[in-house]
Amino acid sequence: MNKTAEQYWKANIRLVSVLLVIWFICSFLFGIILVDPLNTIKIGGVGLGFWFAQNGSIYVFLVLIYVYAKRMNALDVEFDVHED
Amino acid sequence: MDLQTLTYTVVGFTFALYIGIAFWARAATTGEFYAAGRGVHPVANGMATAADWMSAASFISMAGLIAFNGYGASVFLMGWTGGYVLLALLLAPYLRKFGKFTVPEFIGDRYYSRTARIVAVICLILASVTYVIGQMKGIGVAFSRFLETEYDTGLYIGMGIVFIYAVMGGMKGITYTQIAQYCVLIFAYTVPAIFISLNLTGNPIPQMGLGSTMADGSGTFMLDRLDQVVTDLGFKEYTTQVMGSKLNMFVYTLSLMIGTAGLPHVIIRFFTVPKVKDARSSAGWALVFIAILYTTAPAVGSMARLNLMNTIQTGEVGSAEGNVEIANVPQWMTNWEKTGLLQWEDKNGDGRIQYYNDKNAEFTAKAESYGWKGNEMTKVDRDIMVLANPEIAQLPNWVIALVVAGGLAAALSTAAGLLLAIASSISHDLLKGVFMPDISEKNELMAGRFAMAGAIAMAGYFGLHPPDFAAGTVAIAFGLAASSIFPALMMGIFNKKMNRSGAIWGMISGIGVTMLYVFQHKGIMFIPGTSFLGDMGPSWFLGISPNAFGAVGALVNFVVAIVVSKVTAPPPDHIQHLVEDIRVPKGAGTATDH
């Protein structure tokens, strides 16, 4: 692997790690582990923990994939590894 | 028009539409049969992936499980959407760059081993067939209601239709048909949800209705009312009841997530986009279309439960007139009674139905003082809830007809996609790739079709006695994929030093552990009575249910693979270069076949 390809891969791993940490927080942490304390906070008639487990996490997942696609496409150009 | 005629018309029209599209776009070459010639736009691909993905488990079964498990069913909501994040970030772009047709092809090439390819094919077939069993359950439920017959008859008819349908087209036919099916199923899912949300809470957006107050002017929140209604009858509180334990929910969710990223019929989708860039966005588009249904499901489930409870418990709990009279049960109950999936029995002979939790000792004492002699709703199959929902809420007949069409669309599209994955793994990976490299294109297609027919027959047979509700059976399929395919793919991309022996032993031990655990609790090949440890909570390892065990299997896979790869020879140089090559998008050509 040449220098740029190596840096590109490192940047990719960094991005993926950050996004996966958020992925874990919004689903496993908020939706399951911390569900009871979060349920004391209500949005409308829904406890926050319950909301993350049944609705909120899904919205966060969407944002994560959007950010990933956008950032990776930018990285492709930056490191000149994009297609054609 | 009466309901029956209307249902036939709507279902007939949608079927004519799918068959028309399948005929117009039918596959002529093996390339088209497997991968639509790679000419599919990311938005179209995302929509088709969504239809492919959202099966009978999502459409028919999931909201029913939410209705009865409340918060505990969150595992399905998070598990079946969160997997797309893993798929987009860890697999899809690299597999597209690699540019082959099937998952075993990647594994065979990456691990420079025919054995690895064969092991991957076997894992894939096990997961896919289990998945189709779950679909068959859903198809059986939908057809039995639609034709007003028993579940078994509905299942046989459904098998015939799936066969005709899947064998005719290949991927290209399926891709365009699935776009049509997505439109039908999402319309059919959201329309009744909007009506019901409007009726109950006055808010037309189901996602908002979930957190709104009741429209009866009481000012009580819908979920608070539901908690009240179910706990009054001895059931667990809706918004806090857990599935097994928190640990079980954690593992269950993880298992569904990594299973999502390991299922061949979903991964195969990302081979069909033109570019690496498109593979990234395709996963996002797929999740957009999936999220529309998944964020609606919690409202559908909770409101269905509330309506069901109110249908049976019409008045105050414990009062003589508080329960529905058997002579006056609504039409939908008698309709579903015919399928054998809904049953009641007047145990105390008062001519009314009492529906309560007779496993709750405290409440049973109270129930006895009312003269109740046990729960009289002797069977409420969870899988009927979505289909019965518009009838329970007394929506117009055309909505009910639409939901039946949507349920069939969901089950058929997924069954077809899975059967294609099974067919390609047998004809392409086993026959052409390993045993008969000289097979002609025509014979390869023929073998694929025979494989499909065999898979349908087998899944139909198990569908007669499914191991669980549709969503539960599908969860087992995810566990199998999670424990075998996902780790092998991920390490193939992210661990350059992962070698042949590591991958093979990882897959074998991962799926082996998972299958052993499932079979010992659910019966060998799901045959009732052959489970040697019993399907009971106390015998579960750390309280983890068999459906959730895939995550443990995946962990075993990772550990075994890494340990074995450390003590065996590293992969040859050209393989390490191959891995470096798939990590960068540059130079991704069109896919080649060998």
Structure confidence at residue B592 (pLDDT): 47
Query: SS3 of B339, please?
Result: coil
Two tokens, residue B336: 């579903």
Is residue A22 included in any domain, yes or no?
Answer: yes
Inter-chain contact A46–B223, Cβ cutoff 8 Å?
A: yes
Is residue A59 included in any domain, yes or no?
Answer: yes
pLDDT at A76 over 70: yes
Chain B closest CA to A76's CA: distance in Å?
8
CB contact A73 to B (< 8 Å)? yes
B294 pLDDT band, cuts 50/70/90, is: very high
Q: Are B565 and B576 in contact (CB under 8 A)?
A: no
> Looking at the partner chain, which of B66, B239, B246 has a beta carbon nearest the beta carbon of A32?
B246
- Which residues of A fall within a CB distance of 8 Å from B239? 39, 47, 50
- Which residues of A fall within a CB distance of 8 Å from B240? 36, 39
Distance CA B5, CA B438 (A): 52
pLDDT tens-digit series, residues B429-486: 787 777 777 777 778 778 888 888 888 888 888 878 776 667 778 888 899 999 999 9
Chain B closest CA to A45's CA: distance in Å?
4
For chain B, what percent of residues have pLDDT higher than 70?
Answer: 90
Inter-chain contact B295–A43, Cβ cutoff 8 Å?
A: no
Chain A closest CA to B218's CA: distance in Å?
14
B66 pLDDT band, cuts 50/70/90, is: very high
Structure confidence at residue B424 (pLDDT): 78
Structure confidence at residue B264 (pLDDT): 79
Inter-chain contact A46–B224, Cβ cutoff 8 Å?
A: no
Distance CA B254, CA B247 (A): 11
Q: Positive or negative CA dihedral for B187, B191, B194, B197?
A: negative
pLDDT tens-digit series, residues B390-434: 888 888 888 888 888 888 878 877 787 788 778 878 887 787 777
Inter-chain contact B85–A23, Cβ cutoff 8 Å?
A: yes
Two tokens, residue B527: 């045959």
Structure confidence at residue B168 (pLDDT): 64
Distances (CA, A) of B35 to B27, B429, B476: 10, 14, 27
For the segment B366-387, the average pLDDT, to the nearest whole number, is 85
Tokens 């897959």 correspond to: B507
> Looking at the partner chain, which of A9, A12, A69 has a beta carbon nearest the beta carbon of B281?
A69
Q: Positive or negative CA dihedral for B209, B199, B301, B320?
A: positive
Q: Are B283 and B88 in contact (CB under 8 A)?
A: yes
Structure confidence at residue B498 (pLDDT): 92
pLDDT tens-digit series, residues B26-57: 655 555 555 544 566 778 888 888 888 888 77
3-state SS string for chain A: CCHHHHHHHHHHHHHHHHHHHHHHHHHHHHHHHCHHHHHCCEECCEEHHHHHHHHHHHHHHHHHHHHHHHHHHHHHHHCCCCCC
Inter-chain contact B211–A35, Cβ cutoff 8 Å?
A: no
Is residue A83 included in any domain, yes or no?
Answer: no
Tokens 């329309």 correspond to: B191
Looking at every residue in chain B, the average pLDDT score rounds to 83
Chain A closest CA to B431's CA: distance in Å?
34
Strands B342-343 and B379-380: antiparallel
CB contact A7 to B (< 8 Å)? no
CB contact A48 to B (< 8 Å)? no
> Looking at the partner chain, which of B277, B288, B580 has a beta carbon nearest the beta carbon of A83?
B277
Mutation pick from B280, B573, B576 vs chain A, by most beta carbons of A within 10 Å, is: B280
Two tokens, residue B371: 């003269």
More confidently predicted of B124 and B591: B124
Structure confidence at residue B557 (pLDDT): 94
Distance CA A82, CA B16 (A): 43
Helix axes B114-146, B470-494, angle to 10 degrees: 160
Inter-chain contact B81–A58, Cβ cutoff 8 Å?
A: yes
Burial code (b: 16+ CB inside 10 Å, e: under 16) for B86-110 equals: bbbbbbbbbbbbbbbbbbbbbbbbb
CB contact A58 to B (< 8 Å)? yes
Q: What is the complex's ipTM, to 2 decimals?
A: 0.94
Domains and CATH numbers, chain B: 3-308+387-466 (1.20.1730.10)
Tell me the HSE value of B412 on the side-chain side, using a 13 A CA sphere. 35
Alpha helices in B464-572 (DSSP H): 470-494, 500-522, 550-567
Chain A closest CA to B213's CA: distance in Å?
7
Tally of domains within chain A: 1
CB contact A59 to B (< 8 Å)? yes
Structure confidence at residue B464 (pLDDT): 80
CB contact A75 to B (< 8 Å)? no
- Which residues of A fall within a CB distance of 8 Å from B74? 31-32, 50, 53-54
Nearest CA in chain A to B297: A54
Q: Is B112 left (phi over 0), alpha (psi -120 to 50) or beta?
A: left
> Looking at the partner chain, which of A5, A44, A45 has a beta carbon nearest the beta carbon of B580?
A5
Inter-chain contact B78–A44, Cβ cutoff 8 Å?
A: no
Determine the residue type at A78: E
Is residue A31 included in any domain, yes or no?
Answer: yes
More confidently predicted of B347 and A58: A58
Distance CA B499, CA B559 (A): 14
B492 pLDDT band, cuts 50/70/90, is: very high
| Residues facing residue B213 across a β-bridge | B221
Which residues, at least 6 apart from B514, have a Cβ–Cβ distance to it below 8 Å? B479, B480, B482, B483, B484, B549, B550, B552, B553
pLDDT tens-digit series, residues B534-568: 555 555 666 678 788 888 999 999 999 999 999 99
Inter-chain contact B580–A1, Cβ cutoff 8 Å?
A: yes
pLDDT at B571 over 70: yes
B594 pLDDT band, cuts 50/70/90, is: very low
Inter-chain contact A81–B74, Cβ cutoff 8 Å?
A: no
- Which residues of A fall within a CB distance of 8 Å from B207? 55
Inter-chain contact A69–B90, Cβ cutoff 8 Å?
A: no
Cα first-last separation, chain B: 56
Structure confidence at residue B254 (pLDDT): 93
> Looking at the partner chain, which of B66, B89, B253 has a beta carbon nearest the beta carbon of A68?
B89
pLDDT tens-digit series, residues B145-191: 777 778 888 888 888 887 777 776 554 556 777 788 888 889 889 99
Tell me the HSE value of B316 on the side-chain side, using a 13 A CA sphere. 4
Query: A43: domain range?
Result: 3-78
Is residue A25 included in any domain, yes or no?
Answer: yes
> Looking at the partner chain, which of B246, B250, B295 has a beta carbon nearest the beta carbon of A58?
B295
B527 pLDDT band, cuts 50/70/90, is: low
Tell me the HSE value of B317 on the side-chain side, using a 13 A CA sphere. 18
Chain A closest CA to B278's CA: distance in Å?
9
Is residue A84 included in any domain, yes or no?
Answer: no
- Which residues of A fall within a CB distance of 8 Å from B208? 44
